[in-house]
Amino acid sequence: MAKGDVSAQLADFAADCRHAGEKDLPKLMRKGVRAAAKPLGEGMKRNASRKLPKSGGLAALIASSRISTKIKTSRRAASVSVEMKKPKAKGLVDLKSINRGRIRHPLFGDRGEWFNTETSPNLITGGLEPEIDQATREIEKVVGELASKLAAG
């Protein structure tokens, strides 16, 4: 099933729960979706630690980043997104820029002079297609099972 179909399933399930006044099933849905999306975050950390330079500590810093799963269930914008959050200790890491293929860094710790190093794009998110497909199937399963419970009353 296409990713858009999963979004429609999420939106429909959330709307059905709202109309039925159901409070517990949406909590179970969020829990199941987060569990299904967990391998994506682990894959992002694995990619970062494998592909980034070991010296200088950037790979270790990014591998220590928090992973956040956002679930939106509005009719127009139902989605599940997995984001890597900046490490708390360092505000100088631009994860989106690194994933686009640009690492900005000082020269030997001199914070007065910064340089850009070009890398391959999708450094963090590249190669996660199998995990994305698996997460999509698991989310479909979770939402389908809970929708059946809602329909059964």
The letter for the amino acid at 109 is G
- Whether 43 has a pLDDT exceeding 80, the answer reads yes
- Whether 143 has a pLDDT exceeding 80, the answer reads yes
Report percent pLDDT > 70 for the chain: 93
pLDDT band at residue 100 using 50, 70 and 90 as cut-offs: very high
